[in-house]
Amino acid sequence: MELTIETIQALAKIMSAEKLTSLALDQGNLKIEITRESSLTFSAETTSCEPQITITAPQPPQNLSVQTETPEVSDTTHWKDIESPMVGVFYQSSQPGKPPYVSKGQHFADGDTLCIIEAMKLMNEITAETAGTIMEVCVDNGQVVEFGQVLYRIVED
């Protein structure tokens, strides 16, 4: 099986049609696990984003350690969700290998580009409607997103 956006979309459609909350596929070197929270168990206190897609393949060990400073905000009730305005593919940067527009802990200004969503071969820049700080990036680069799906959780300035 070749891993493509179409394959992931097909698996997501199967999950939706069958009302599944998780799907796992293991074919030798390729392992795909897709999970989503049931709408019955979702609560306002939940801080994880849905759906979550995990794809694992054998990779050489890496001894890299990345640490970022993130402002500590213990009261998540002040967090605001930035949702996808369309269905498409989420990209954190303008090109592969380029740094993301924004990352966890980063401050951004009103009008700054936060990400790109590709829909029908058109690249749509998603811009900030207010200044704030990224508290959580809820989707992975290259992930298919749905209309209204949470992309970022922020604290407004």
Classify 129 as helix, strand or coil.
coil
Per the structure, the complete domain to which residue 114 belongs is given by 76-156
Looking at residue 75, its pLDDT comes to: 62
The answer to whether position 65 is within a domain reads no
The answer to whether position 68 is within a domain reads no
The answer to whether position 146 is within a domain reads yes
Whole-structure pTM value: 0.53
Looking at residue 148, its pLDDT comes to: 94
Q: What distance in Å separates the CA atoms of residue 88 and residue 82, rounded to the nearest whole number?
A: 15
The answer to whether position 88 is within a domain reads yes
The domain spanning residue 152 has which CATH number? 2.40.50.100
**Residue 133 sits in the same domain as residue 84:** yes
Letter for the amino acid at 43?
S
**Residue 123 sits in the same domain as residue 52:** no
Tens of each residue's pLDDT in the chain, 157 residues? 566 777 777 777 777 777 777 777 776 666 777 776 654 433 334 444 545 555 555 444 444 444 444 445 456 778 999 999 999 999 999 998 899 999 999 999 999 999 999 999 899 999 999 999 999 999 999 999 999 999 999 999 8
Classify 145 as helix, strand or coil.
strand
Q: What distance in Å separates the CA atoms of residue 111 and residue 113, rounded to the nearest whole number?
A: 6
* CA angle (13, 17, 19) in 5-degree steps: 110
Question: For 117, phi and psi rounded to 5 degrees?
Answer: -120, 120
* Count: domains in the chain: 2
Give the largest Cα separation in the chain, rounded.
48
